[in-house]
Amino acid sequence: MGDCRPNDIRDAAFAYYPHLGRLAAYCKEHYDEDICLQRAANIVGLERTYFCTFFHQKVGVCFSCWLAVLRIDNAKGRIRANNRSISNIAHEVGFNSLATFRRTFKSCTGKTASQYKNQVRPC
């Protein structure tokens, strides 16, 4: 999955490279949509293959991992804020597969989404 922990170097890369900052802003606004590598590369203005290399070198993780973490962060906020089902939240934040959401959530947080929900929204 990649490194799910917050990283100041990542934030610095988005601030230092304006085209990466535009991409981050776009993704934060449209995280719930299908954002493919080609779309991300177009936003940055790079060829897709070079974009993958550039993003990984500057941010420290691949684009798809970074986007997954962004989506998980939003899912955590939704879990804290309301009592919607985990499957609804997974779909709302851009995961097309509940299995992928569950695997990614566990990888990023060390617990399942249900465990996290029980922790932040006790009965």
pLDDT digit string (tens) for 83-108?
899 999 999 999 999 999 999 999 99
**pLDDT at 1 exceeding the cut of 60:** no
pLDDT at 9: 60
- Burial status of residue 16 (CB atoms within 10 A of its CB: 0-12, 13-18, 19 or more): exposed
pLDDT confidence of 56, banded at 50, 70, 90? very high
Q: Does the model's pTM come out above 0.85? A: yes
Query: How does residue 7 score in pLDDT terms, banded at 50, 70 and 90?
Result: low
- Residue 6: the pLDDT is 47
- Read off the pLDDT of residues 65-84 as tens digits, 9 standing for 90 and up: 999 999 999 999 999 998 89
DSSP state of 9: H
pLDDT 10s digits, 32-47: 999 999 999 999 999 9
Query: Using CA atoms, how far apart are residues 93 and 50, in angstroms rounded to an integer?
Result: 27
